[in-house]
Amino acid sequence: MAGDDTTESALRATAYSMLVITSTVFIARLALHLTRRKALAWDDYWIILAYAFFLALVAMYIVIIPILFKTNAVAEGKLAPYPALLDEATLMLKILFPEAILFWCVLWSVKFSLLALYKRLMQGTNTGLIKAWWAVVVFLVLTWIGAVISNVLSCHSWHAWFTPGECVLPKDAKAQFASLYYTYAADVISDLAIMCLPIKLMWNLQMRRAQKLSIIALFCIGFVCVIFATIRVVRISVGVDGNHSPKTTWIILWAIIEAAVAVIIGCCPAFYVLISARRNASKPSYNSQGYHQQPSHTSAMHRSGDIKMESM
């Protein structure tokens, strides 16, 4: 846990700012459902769970940030050892262990939220898409289990995980980097698989091409998560050889940022629904008797995608 150019104030500011921004977006999404009087669906429950995991993640990081910088200062000789040093270092390790699992729970909950949304859109589609959906679900479950196992195996023993100064062997560092790269690969591959699912579904809907492209672009914003995941791995591993553990401060910083971005991305489809519904409501058509004009059969077919999207 060597020191670096990340300051305690910068780390705390990042945690609080990401907490405020993410909470604002999430509350706005929840308010959207309440104002539209829509019953919560599985994708809503998953995003709520993701936000709950995010709150726990940030809260626990905020607790250990001052401890982390004090222990770093002692290790660097900038601060004299103090009586509570061992107890605080042990507490920090006990928090860091579940934090990694919480981080993956945030990301994977967002993925399951998007999958739950796609499943509703796939009702009545061909069995090939449904099978592909289930394949992605199984992949997510297995990779999440693998992430937990890789975290447990990041130290040479269970005792070393929770004992200050024990999890510092070269083989521990190699195991930690292996876990980092494994979870990165699983994260990116699953994001790409999830983004590919709705493209064929949307392309087969009978609607204007521009509208199809706008919806596909919405679902492809998962690339933002891929970009942040890549930045996180690069920043954590840069300048660190395979015999030393990644810097804890960078792990915390980028875990908070990526988790926040994931929750925000998971909320985006609901905002598309709101914008689409308001746009359609602002352009009513009337017949000569003053009643709302019903769309023709052809027009209804072109708007079938809107009906699907607005029913989410």
- Percentage of residues of the chain with pLDDT beyond 70: 76
Chain position carrying tokens 């290790």: 75
Contact 218, 67 (CB under 8 A): no
Check whether 188 has a pLDDT greater than 70: yes
User: What pLDDT, on the 0 to 100 scale, is given for residue 54?
Assistant: 97
Highest mean pLDDT among 226-235, 256-265, 269-278: 256-265
Check whether 1 has a pLDDT greater than 80: no
CA distance 23 to 294: 40
Q: What is the pTM of this model?
A: 0.82
User: What pLDDT, on the 0 to 100 scale, is given for residue 308?
Assistant: 46
73-127 pLDDT, tens digit per residue, is 888 888 888 888 889 899 999 999 999 999 999 999 999 999 998 888 777 667 7
Closest-CA residue to 96 (of 169, 176, 186): 176
Mean pLDDT of 28-42: 80
Mean pLDDT of 211-222: 69
| Protein fold of 8-277+298-310 | Rhopdopsin 7-helix transmembrane proteins (1.20.1070)
Tell me the pLDDT of the chain averaged across its residues. Answer: 81
CA distance 290 to 101: 59
User: What pLDDT, on the 0 to 100 scale, is given for residue 289?
Assistant: 45
Domain boundaries along the sequence of the chain: 8-277+298-310
State the pLDDT confidence band at 238, using cuts at 50, 70 and 90. Answer: confident
CA distance 97 to 93: 6
CA distance 304 to 298: 10
286-307 pLDDT, tens digit per residue, is 444 444 454 444 443 344 444 3
Check whether 58 has a pLDDT greater than 90: yes
